[in-house]
Chain A
Amino acid sequence: MIKNYFLVAIRNLKRNKVFSAINIVGLALGLTCSLLIMLWVLDERSTDQFHEKKDRLYSVYERQFTDGKTQGGHYTPGLLAQELKKQFPEVEMSTGMAWDDYFTFQVGDKILKQDGNFADSNFFEMFSFPIIEGSAKNALSSPNSLAISRKMAVAFFGSPQAAFGKTIRVENRRDFQVTAVYEDMPHNSTLKWDYVLNWHYMQEIREWIREWDNNGPSTMLLLRSDADAQKFEAKIKNFMDKYLEGNAGWKIELYLQKFSDRYLYSNFKEGYISGGRIEYVRLFSIVAIFILLIACINFMNLTTARSIKRSREIGVRKVVGAIRPALIRQFIGEAIIVAGLAMIVALALLFLFLPMFNTLTQKQIEFPVQHWTFWASIIGLIFVTGLLSGSYPALFLSSFRPIVVLKGVMKVSSSANWFRKGLVVFQFALSSLLIIGTIVVSQQVQYIQNKNLGFNRENIIRVTLQGELNQKSQLFRRQIADIPGVTAVTRSEADPMRMGNSTIGVDWDGKVPNTKPLFMQTGIGYDFIKTMQMKLVAGREFGRDYGTDTSGYILNEAAIKKIGYADPIGRSFTLWGRKGTIIGVVQNFHYTSMHNPIEPLIFRLADSSSYGYAFVRAEAAKTKSVIASIEKIAKEMNPQFVFTYDFADDEFKRLYENETMIHRLSNCFAALAIVISCLGLLGLAMFAAEQRVREIGIRKVLGANLQSLFLILSKEFLMLVFVAFLIACPLAWWAMNNWLHDFEYRVTMTVWPFALAGLAALAIALFTISFQTVKAALANPIKSLRSE
């Protein structure tokens, strides 16, 4: 029996080549898209999930209350990890963790920059990074111990074995001994370090982390297996109170988040964890299901539409003894065969597109050939898709009454027609929704690209100040200034697009006592405002000619607004107990991404700070030669370090990586959804034209011309698309408003994306069906009428 079904299915596919192609290609496109997204979602969800003790690994986060505002973050005091371990038996192990640093390492003549971090001696016992040489217990136990990755070991010593026990010089400051070599951290780990330095050294070079009222490092805890995380969380909630005595108006609460959740749930709202990448993961999962659904609907639609042609076969089968279940099996079986064929095409497409998809999403997803779960889910997907798309035709076709069908007076009932129309509407509503969404996303991305940041981010070269370059930064900058093509040079402790250091240590005349407003602050060198081409609203910037500038401050407009000075220049302002005067007011600029509002910001003079970057503005045509010259100077002054630079623009791109990815992906998905919907519409138009051959013939005999026939045939479809568009509008409005509200700075929604999407949908639909309708309208009526 199965062989019989199979034969009929294959012969049917062959007999109707165009229909079959539409069916298979449409379904294959949908499947490819769903598979790609499925792989992406799995990759996202697998991030940080490989740690054996992940169920007990927690990251501490803070809710900070100050000046009536609540903020959340993983920034904690550097002493917290050890203190919690000391005081609570529930904590089995703990470690602090800093932020990724690019340090310079040297062995003999070999100098390399590496990406890594600091951690406590427990680190390798808490997290599952396999050790190749040495032991997890002793990896970071002494003040001069250092753990490095296989990659770094190979780069310096040729092999992990050769590296073990050897000495490496760090930042040309101190020698460390390699006490452990670990396997390279996997690509689905958020921690991707080539070295881990011990926490003693962290405390040595960054003294401020030894104080309780400074925040910075993250705190990771491994709870005992018998500990109740919820009870423990309640216990530590007010732990910080006693350490913050004397800081009236400032309160910090501690909470726990599973370390394995940190990647997907990284946003804070009201100081609590609230979403993050998980929203995109969910969104794309829904998109994947929708696209698959659209493809399945096509299949259903085409199959039921074609049912008239097959109704006779069903009638005959019933007359010769088929009962309904047998027919249902046959049609679902056929659907599964088509789904299987589509899946083969889809796998080929997947193989083809995966590299492109990886570039798009900046992932390293591999075609999971060896995983049996992948193949199992592929087969599962074939069956689900087959069932989903085959069930309606199967139930519908098998319900035909044989004599009705065989008499040839078969007319599809109006309810079936309604159903089919409903499917087309659903499909085009989804497509319109995606088109509108894509337009709005690209508008916002455009807006971000073109919005005036408050300074000119183009042609600025950023050089990290390290070693001698930092010690002699004034000489370094003087030499750079002499390079032809350099228009200005300055230094700063932080990148102007990532100024994240906040403080409550501010005071001014008339400040309400015991309020602790949060101000951003950063130290800048001379000529910063000039180099960045920021705008001064009042006053001047720091100048070498003014001896008193070490006690001067430049504030942004938001800070002045907060302080409330009407005429701020020359008025007094205190930062960290150092009373000074306001010498300038800088126009508000975006020191962080446009998701966040512009908060009060203080510039203090730090022309000889111990860390930071040099910024060089070059003439557009000469950036290349300028970089070469800077490199030459840096190599001469600072042979112990690798010269590194980038452009301010790169930092900007990194800020909006997510948005750019969403933009590209939504473009692809929208295009795909439209293509699939059009394939469906095309098939349906073919069918409608075929079904109305007789009507068209009669109308032609009665004298209808081409235009009127075209109108008659197209009207219904265009109406459906229009209705779909009307349904999509409010949904799109709601969804895109939500998305935009994540941005503090955003485009306003206008009718244009809607109008554009509506016109596009109609135009595409018209284009799709026009071939068929024109063909039908041009056909010779004698032929069509004779065939009756």
Chain B
Amino acid sequence: MLSLKHISKWITLGGKPNFLLKDVNLTINQGEFVSIMGPSGSGKSTLLHIIGMLDDFNEGEYLFMDQPVHTLKEKQRSALYKQHIGFVFQAYHLIDELTVYENIETPLIYQNVKSSERKAIVADMLDRFQIVGKKDLFPTQLSGGQQQLVGIARALIAKPQLLLADEPTGNLNSKQGEEIMDLFKQLNNEGVTIIQVTHSEKNAGYGSRIIHLLDGRIEQEQQP
């Protein structure tokens, strides 16, 4: 599905390059469930953001579904990204001014889906996540677990093939966390490729492959 070749990213501090990622090579296939682990500052989030095309890199090549991302223009990259990638955040990042329903609907609006279709798709999704009763509430009226559920629903609404999750359970208690991970497992079984960043060994265990980062390099790969 995607492959990173010799990816490096650095920021210059006091005239010296400070590497966030150094010569990262990684290939991920359709249907995989990959967990990225590593201590704070090891470059996990940066790597995830680069994969998600939210951040750029200084060196190397990135092929996403056979398209060279590093040569694409902003507009094409955005189109590619909109179509294939969904994002889940640790802090949920729902829009406070929009209701649950409207939050989930937003990606469809940006993909110019017709209003009647949008209604049907969002209704299905609300059904599937069993949050129909909460559709008119605002995010601040929900618990953390429920907010993350909405966040995932929003990430999935446009039927992406790749789901990127940045510590999706970081702000949740263990029971809520477990529920979210079970959901991920189930999605993966349905064919969605998932890449998650996590601190927790237990959560990493849900995946099919674990990548350990240290100081911007891939230290080791393991199968759980």
Chain B stretch 22-65: residues in CB contact (< 8 A) with chain A: 49, 54-55
**Residue from B75, B102, B158 within 8 A of A321 (CB atoms):** B158
Contacts of B82 in A (CB 8 A): 321
Q: Pick the interface stretch among A8-16, A134-142, A377-385.
A: A8-16
Q: Pick the interface stretch among A29-37, A309-317, A342-350.
A: A309-317
Q: Which residue of A lies closest to B105 (CB)?
A: A4
Q: CB of A1 within 8 A of chain B?
A: yes
Chain A stretch 283-337: residues in CB contact (< 8 A) with chain B: 312-313, 315-317, 319-323, 326
Contacts of A403 in B (CB 8 A): 49, 54-55
B136 to chain A, nearest CB (A): 12
* Contact in complex: B89, A406 (CB < 8 Å): yes
Q: CB of B184 within 8 A of chain A?
A: no
Chain B stretch 93-149: residues in CB contact (< 8 A) with chain A: 93-98, 102, 105-107, 109-111
The A/B interface has a contact count, at CB < 8 Å, of 55
Contacts of B89 in A (CB 8 A): 406
**Residue from A316, A402, A406 within 8 A of B95 (CB atoms):** A316
A225 to chain B, nearest CB (A): 59
Q: Which residue of A lies closest to B154 (CB)?
A: A320
Contacts of B109 in A (CB 8 A): 1, 4
Q: How far is the CA of A317 from the CA of B54 in the complex (A)?
A: 12
Q: CB of A7 within 8 A of chain B?
A: yes
Candidate in A1, A11, A321, A402 with the most chain B CB atoms within 10 angstroms: A321
Contacts of A320 in B (CB 8 A): 87, 106-107, 110, 154
Contacts of A315 in B (CB 8 A): 93
A388-411 CB mask vs B (1 if < 8 Å, else 0) is: 000000000000011100100000
* Contact in complex: B54, A323 (CB < 8 Å): no
Chain B stretch 154-210: residues in CB contact (< 8 A) with chain A: 154, 158
* Contact in complex: B93, A319 (CB < 8 Å): yes
Contacts of B110 in A (CB 8 A): 317, 320-323, 326
A409 to chain B, nearest CB (A): 12
B48 to chain A, nearest CB (A): 10
Q: Which residue of B lies closest to A325 (CB)?
A: B75
Q: How far is the CA of A436 from the CA of B166 in the complex (A)?
A: 59
* Contact in complex: A319, B97 (CB < 8 Å): no
* Contact in complex: B107, A316 (CB < 8 Å): no
Per the CB 8 Å criterion, the residue count for chain B at the interface is 25
Contacts of A4 in B (CB 8 A): 98, 102, 105-106, 109
* Contact in complex: A323, B96 (CB < 8 Å): no
Q: How far is the CA of A312 from the CA of B139 in the complex (A)?
A: 14
Candidate in A320, A323, A403 with the most chain B CB atoms within 10 angstroms: A320
User: Contacts A4-B102, A403-B49, A406-B89: A319 and B54 contacting too (C-beta < 8 A)?
Assistant: yes
* Contact in complex: A15, B111 (CB < 8 Å): no
Contacts of A15 in B (CB 8 A): 97
Q: CB of B67 within 8 A of chain A?
A: no
Contacts of A312 in B (CB 8 A): 93
Q: How far is the CA of A315 from the CA of B54 in the complex (A)?
A: 10
Q: Which residue of B lies closest to A15 (CB)?
A: B97
Contacts of A11 in B (CB 8 A): 97-98
User: Contacts A321-B78, A323-B75: A8 and B98 contacting too (C-beta < 8 A)?
Assistant: yes
Q: CB of B10 within 8 A of chain A?
A: no
A338 to chain B, nearest CB (A): 15
Q: CB of B19 within 8 A of chain A?
A: no
Q: How far is the CA of A401 from the CA of B74 in the complex (A)?
A: 13
Chain A stretch 1-59: residues in CB contact (< 8 A) with chain B: 1, 4, 7-8, 11-12, 15
Contacts of B94 in A (CB 8 A): 316
* Contact in complex: B81, A321 (CB < 8 Å): yes
Contacts of B102 in A (CB 8 A): 4, 7
Contacts of B93 in A (CB 8 A): 312, 315-316, 319, 406
Contacts of A323 in B (CB 8 A): 75, 78, 110
Q: How far is the CA of A175 from the CA of B9 in the complex (A)?
A: 104
Q: Which residue of A lies closest to B49 (CB)?
A: A403
* Contact in complex: B54, A8 (CB < 8 Å): no
Q: How far is the CA of A1 from the CA of B95 in the complex (A)?
A: 15
A329 to chain B, nearest CB (A): 11
B162 to chain A, nearest CB (A): 14
Q: Which residue of A lies closest to B155 (CB)?
A: A320
B112 to chain A, nearest CB (A): 8
B44 to chain A, nearest CB (A): 13
Q: How far is the CA of A315 from the CA of B166 in the complex (A)?
A: 15
Q: Which residue of B lies closest to A309 (CB)?
A: B96
Q: How far is the CA of A755 from the CA of B102 in the complex (A)?
A: 56
B175 to chain A, nearest CB (A): 26
Q: How far is the CA of A323 from the CA of B95 in the complex (A)?
A: 17
Known: A4-B109, A320-B110, A406-B91. 10 other contacts (CB 8 A): A1-B109, A4-B105, A8-B95, A12-B97, A317-B106, A317-B110, A319-B54, A321-B107, A323-B75, A323-B110
Subset of 15 A-B contacts with CB under 8 Å: A4-B105, A7-B98, A8-B95, A8-B98, A11-B97, A313-B95, A317-B95, A320-B107, A320-B110, A320-B154, A322-B110, A401-B54, A402-B54, A406-B89, A406-B91
Chain B positions within 8 Å of A, measured between CB atoms, are 49, 54-55, 75, 78, 81-82, 87, 89, 91, 93-98, 102, 105-107, 109-111, 154, 158
Chain A positions within 8 Å of B, measured between CB atoms, are 1, 4, 7-8, 11-12, 15, 312-313, 315-317, 319-323, 326, 401-403, 406
Which A-B residue pairs are the 9 nearest by beta carbons? A321-B82, A321-B110, A320-B107, A11-B97, A316-B93, A403-B54, A8-B97, A322-B110, A313-B95
